[in-house]
Amino acid sequence: MMTYIVFILSVIFVISFVGFSSKPSPIYGGLVLIVSGGVGCGIIMNFGGSFLGLMVFLIYLGGMLVVFGYTTAMATEQYPEVWVSNTTVMGVFLLGLLMEVMLVLYVLKSEEVGVVFKFSGVGDWAIYDTGDSEVFSEEIMGVAALYSYGAWVVIVTGWSLLVGVLVILEVTRGD
């Protein structure tokens, strides 16, 4: 099972995305978002990116999602919608689940899947450790490169975040 752990994690990833895309109440959306964040962290860590996975848990789940959960709890209604309460929500969830199951069966059965890109069944999802970069970890070097060669990206994303705050305040301010 450990060979195919990335495949299993990515299937759980897609299922939890389907879970919040079928639009239950935001509280339950946040619940599956926690699951998807954790599973995504697992996928990244299997590729050797332990630092980035920790970032996902700490900043995304522990920072942003907690704030989101608190604000949603303040604005929630008396009977929030679950996946089984509304026919539409359940229908969309089951449809997404069905499509994912069919895709998984297709991948498992056939040798090669060529939808947009060709990948050969489950084999392509397994992690092969080539053992090259043992001296330094690639992903931490990537984060370091973001602040040296990628200074323009940092400036642009920082400015976008600032303008995002200004825009949201402006939009919700009203008259």
Q: What single-letter amino acid sits at 119?
A: F
Residue-level length of the chain: 175
164 binds other proteins (CB under 8 A): yes
SS3 of 117-169: the string is CEECCCHHHCCCCCCCCCCCCHHHHHHHHHHHCCHHHHHHHHHHHHHHHHHHH
175 binds other proteins (CB under 8 A): yes
174 binds other proteins (CB under 8 A): yes
Q: Output the smallest distance, CB 166 to other proteins, in A.
A: 6
Q: Output the smallest distance, CB 152 to other proteins, in A.
A: 8
Of 82, 127, 145, 163, which lies in the binding site for other proteins, with binding defined by CB under 8 A?
163
166 binds other proteins (CB under 8 A): yes
Q: Output the smallest distance, CB 103 to other proteins, in A.
A: 17
d(CA 120, CA 64): 37
Q: What does DSSP assign to residue 22?
A: T
116 binds other proteins (CB under 8 A): yes
Q: For other proteins, which is the closer residue by CB, 80 or 158?
A: 158
d(CA 64, CA 162): 16
Of 64, 153, 154, 158, which lies in the binding site for other proteins, with binding defined by CB under 8 A?
153
Please choose, out of 55-63, 68-76, 136-144, 160-168, the segment that lies near other proteins by the rule CB under 8 A: 160-168
The answer for residues whose C-beta is within 8 angstroms of residue 90's C-beta and 6 or more apart is: 22, 83, 84
Q: What is the dihedral of CA 41, 44, 50, 53, to 10 degrees?
A: -30
Give the footprint of other proteins on this chain (CB under 8 A).
Answer: 116-117, 152-153, 156-157, 159-160, 163-164, 166-167, 170-171, 174-175
